[in-house]
Structure 1
Amino acid sequence: MDTRVFAYVAKLADTGSYARAARELFITKQGLASAIERLERSLNVPLFEADHKGVRLTEYGEVFCAFSRAFLDRQKAMSEEIELLRRRARLGSAKDGAPGRCGRVRGGLPLSR
């Protein structure tokens, strides 16, 4: 699964509009629609339903969107943690290149492979 779909689903849920979400994501409306359609086919459930007011999450979509937001939050935390280590390495206070283990991070959640 392309991890960009997590941001796509969250943005589409926030905006309720394919056109606006696509614009804010810097992709085409058709590209966004195609990605959502592929995702729905792979999951075999509808994530969004459309009406005259726009699009909104289905019950399946609410679950997927909640996990998407959690994924995006963890991805951001990971990037921040790596940037902090990179800065420390520049200052000579990190063990750059030392063997390590995959374990806990500042957020308290274990990382898995």
Structure 2
Amino acid sequence: VGREGAFAELLSAVARAPTAVRERIQDDLETLPRAFAQLTEASKLRIQLCLTRSQKCPRFHVDKVPARLLVTYTGPGTEFVGSGWTNPLILPLESIVNTWSWRILGAIRDNIA
């Protein structure tokens, strides 16, 4: 499936979401990939849109990608820890990505002013 076809598939996948969520996802799909590609100087991106009913990553782990743009549209948000953090039971406030917010995780994050 080409780029346009993949984009159309993503948009149709969110068609059944509540209106506010659907509109936000559609807007983000039009703007965030382009901005992320420019920041990371990536020529290709993998876009994954998941519906989860439980934690997708129940344990903290090291990502196997150089950078990740993460958005949580509904639910409690997402928690993460930096590579130097030693106690995942006590998270600093900047380790929580609130619902409707986005965050770049990975090495590229350190290069953004």
Question: Shared topology, TM-score over 0.5?
Answer: no
Instruction: Name which one, 1 or 2, has greater alpha-carbon Rg.
Output: 1
Choose between structure 1 and 2 for higher RCO, CA contacts under 8 A separated by at least 6 residues: 2
Instruction: Give the alignment's TM-score, normalised by structure 1.
Output: 0.29
More helix by share: 1
